[in-house]
Structure 1
Amino acid sequence: MTHLAANGGPPIRLQQWPAWPAPAPSALNALNEVLHSGRWAISGPYQGKQSFERRFAEAFAAYHEIAHCVPTASGTASLMVALEACGVGAGDEVIIPGLTWVANASTVAGVNAVPVPVDVDPLTLCLDPAAVERAITPRTAAIVVVHLYSAVADLDALTAIAKRHDVALIEDCAQAHGARFRGRRVGTFGAFGTFSMQHSKVLTSGEGGAVITGDGVLSRRAEHLRADGRTYTAHEPAVGEMELDQTAELMGSNRCLSEFQAAVLLGQLELLDEQNERRRANAALLDDGLGALGIRPQVSSPGTTERTYYEWAGRIEDDEIGQLGVGPIASAVAAELSGAGIYTSYPPMNHNRLYRPASRSRFKAIAGLDLTGYSLPVAEDAGRRVVTVHHSALLGDESDAKDIVRAFEKVFTHHRELRG
């Protein structure tokens, strides 16, 4: 008899999940204002009003209680800007987590540096400080720490390591908008905090990004790097004139956020805290319900005062179920839930099929880019055992969280059906 929806049985749920992205009530009016403003990008002529890009930069900096924010075209652009603003370049090594999205490695290669993946903590799935310490060499120029899924990395230990070895610490907060460590927003502990506003993120404009910093010199370098070597003029220009000054201080590239994206983000930012609170409440229900089924929830580092749930993550502890591999389990649970966002963890960086620098001629002159020789046992285990639930499924109510638990319980009960 077939029980699982993946095999043609009746699903746990037919009801659809909360839509994501979900536009703020102000989005249409803001987009219409940009549409008729005569300025669709900061590289367009000044029209007598503060740009949406500047408005968002000020709002995002204020949200983090930090002095500077430079919006960018994507999370990848934000990482590249941060690395180059910190002086990272040819011949340098950059320590990255062994468990993260591929852009953390490809971006380092993109600034002609060498990514050095190190293993992660088995409980937080974020950078293991002891592994970072062992990986430091005279060529290390930066450490990129990712606050992964719903955890904040051990910023006490990592900031101390960076200071002791005089290397830049860059926080990748693409999955942690709004999280706090010791009362401060993440992104404010390193030289830079970098953010992605890609479609799936908890703060999104489809694509987009930002860097934040408390250092005025680094901020000015970041402005030049994202706008072809230009920065905002010191004084308000006349209508029709350019608001970007060609200082020639530093050559850059065009990595600017459009006015449409900035307008959307302003409205979305107003909703962020309330949405994060709702996600936390439902994540707590998953901690209890899925924990009782033998899925060990990801934890955050001591010192975390507020978590952000980009994805709820947990490790399947049962060996018999775990031997199936997390892929079939995630697919079977998603089939029970009308296609809810149930996913596997990222693959370990030493086996990530998207990281293929040899496939592009620009990287052939850089030695050390092959990552397959690194040992990352904790990251490899996570790739086999960790399952995640996308934050959109946490925006509902208690009954939605219970449906997720019921779906996992059903799949675990009938997991032998997945063996074919």
Structure 2
Amino acid sequence: MEVRGMPLHTSRLAIDNGTPVRRRPWPVWPQPADGAFDALARVLRSGRWTISGPYRGVESAERRFARRFAEYHHIAHCVPASSGTASLMLALEACDVGAGDEVILPALTWVASASTVVGVNAVPVFADIDPDTLCLDSDAVEAAITPATKAIVVVHLYAAVADLSRLRKVADRHGIALIEDCAQAHGAEFDGRKVGTFGAVGTFSMQQSKVLTSGEGGAAITADPVLARRMEHLRADGRCYPDKVPLPGGMELVETGELMGSNRCMSEFHAAVLGEQLGELDRLNGQRRRNAELLDSLLVGLGYRPQSSAPGTTSRTYYTYAAELPDTQLPGADIVKVTDALTAELGFPVTPAYSPLNANPLYNPASRNRFALGPQHEKLIDPTRFVLPVSDRLTRRLVTFHHAALLGDESDVRDIAAAFAKVLQHRATLAS
């Protein structure tokens, strides 16, 4: 048997002591840009390791990165932060989301999307997903809107862009803030524009696994100067940048008394690394995209169903590659057995999709006393109150893997496809 000229492996599955498809190592992530080491050394010698340190007569790495990231998105403002979670919290509070407000978000996403909403004393409302893109379904959003709805958080999940045209229309029709969570979509485009520029605020994570990373870090972008100023205060204990450059040795944050904040600032080390990594983003995104498109064609030929992006997407990025198992050949497969088998064949982690938030063990507000704000609030934030049939069905049928595996060449892609083909050959042993 062959798949487009690629020999299939007929030995036992590696998980059953057979010979694996792949023994060679895979690309490692993160990959530091050429200038990252020198950038870190400059910060070490600068006498300023954070924006709350004294001004030394030169522009901070944080301000340089913020300007470059805003320019990359063709938008006016960028506020760096300590994490993607912090960035989303800044966005929510800048949009005046708070106690008792409802925030609609997708049922299938990383847990921080929901825990951050609870963290500002608001109520997460889970809406189901589109079965093709795995992103927020606009009809489900429309059905979930109530007089208490204050914002919609759309997550561009894995390797897809959500349907921003339809979601933007829903938000505008109801006068609700649209916030884009782009933690997994740095550089993706919809209708020729970068994601993160369609909502009131776009938020990003730069955690180690992300396609743009400094280990930890985040950023929020906006075209609105009022929201930008609010986010500056919120992330720096109520302080913001001054109108004039201070004298060397002085503070570059001023105490305005406008808005109480918390410390969610990005360090100079993280900002320096991001400034260098940003120059590599488009090249690496292009490499992943080309390999993913080849893999799509190979897996479709086997009956798998790769995740698609919404109509109107003009450029995809691949944080996670996701594909649905063939219904005809693996109708009753145990998803964990399948992912364990693929992992053994390939030598890198292949995992099921995130668990839906109504059944995700990482999302459990009742486990923390800070959210015990009374019986009515506790009932509203109980995730088990939501019924999410599309998310529940698909998360038992999806396999995913990290984008590092897409940073190789065509032979690497064909190894991945060969492992997926081999699993199909041994499907009888993987039935639940």
- Give the TM-score category using the shorter length: over 0.9
Say whether 1:208 aligns with 2:217: yes
Aligned with residue 42 of structure 1, among 39, 42, 51: 51
Instruction: Name the residue aligned to 1:12.
Output: 21
Instruction: Name the residue aligned to 2:391.
Output: 379
In 1, the alpha carbon distance for the partners of 2:167 and 2:327 equals 32
Q: Is the 8 Å Cα contact of residues 4 and 417 (structure 1) preserved in structure 2?
A: no
Instruction: Name the residue aligned to 2:253.
Output: 244
Aligned with residue 74 of structure 2, among 65, 83, 104: 65
Aligned-pair distance for 1:334? 1.3
Instruction: Name the residue aligned to 1:168.
Output: 177
Aligned-pair distance for 1:415? 2.8
Aligned-pair distance for 1:325? 2.6
Q: Is the 8 Å Cα contact of residues 322 and 385 (structure 1) preserved in structure 2?
A: no
Say whether 1:117 aligns with 2:129: no
Structure 1 outlier segments of 4+, above 6 Å = none
Identify which range, 250-259 or 342-351, moves more after superposition: 342-351
Aligned-pair distance for 1:2? 7.1
Instruction: Name the residue aligned to 1:102.
Output: 111
TM-score, with normalisation over the residues of structure 2? 0.95
Aligned with residue 408 of structure 2, among 396, 400, 404: 396
Q: Is the 8 Å Cα contact of residues 341 and 393 (structure 1) preserved in structure 2?
A: no
Say whether 1:407 aligns with 2:425: no
In 1, the alpha carbon distance for the partners of 2:11 and 2:295 equals 27
Q: Is the 8 Å Cα contact of residues 232 and 240 (structure 2) preserved in structure 1?
A: yes
Matched residue type, 1:256: C
Give the 3-state SS of the residue equivalent to 1:243 in structure 2: coil
Identify which range, 316-325 or 132-141, moves more after superposition: 316-325
Give the 3-state SS of the residue equivalent to 1:312 in structure 2: strand
Instruction: Name the residue aligned to 1:359.
Output: 367
TM-score, with normalisation over the residues of structure 1? 0.98
Instruction: Name the residue aligned to 2:4.
Output: none
Matched residue type, 1:407: A
Matched residue type, 1:363: F
Give the 3-state SS of the residue equivalent to 2:168 in structure 1: helix
Give the 3-state SS of the residue equivalent to 2:254 in structure 1: strand
Say whether 1:272 aligns with 2:281: yes
Q: Is the 8 Å Cα contact of residues 322 and 384 (structure 1) preserved in structure 2?
A: no
Is the alpha carbon distance of 1:415 and 1:217 closer, same or farther for their aligned partners in structure 2, counting shifts above 3 Å?
same
Say whether 1:310 aligns with 2:319: yes
Q: Which runs of 5+ in 1 are unaligned?
A: none
In 1, the alpha carbon distance for the partners of 2:134 and 2:326 equals 15
Deviation by residue 1:70-95 (Cα, 9 ceiling, x = unmatched) = 00100000110000000000010000
Aligned-pair distance for 1:6? 1.2
- Aligned counterparts, 1:45-194, within 5 A: 45-194=54-203
Deviation by residue 1:116-142 (Cα, 9 ceiling, x = unmatched) = 000000111111100000000000000
In 2, the alpha carbon distance for the partners of 1:389 and 1:282 equals 13
Give the 3-state SS of the residue equivalent to 2:395 in structure 1: helix
Q: Which runs of 5+ in 2 are unaligned?
A: 1-9
Q: Is the 8 Å Cα contact of residues 341 and 392 (structure 1) preserved in structure 2?
A: no
Q: Is the 8 Å Cα contact of residues 234 and 260 (structure 2) preserved in structure 1?
A: yes
Aligned with residue 29 of structure 1, among 38, 58, 70: 38
Deviation by residue 1:248-304 (Cα, 9 ceiling, x = unmatched) = 110000001110000110111000000000011000111111111111111111111
Instruction: Name the residue aligned to 2:293.
Output: 284
In 2, the alpha carbon distance for the partners of 1:60 and 1:316 equals 37
In 2, the alpha carbon distance for the partners of 1:237 and 1:204 equals 30
Give the 3-state SS of the residue equivalent to 1:372 in structure 2: helix
In 2, the alpha carbon distance for the partners of 1:191 and 1:138 equals 20
In 1, the alpha carbon distance for the partners of 2:337 and 2:211 equals 26
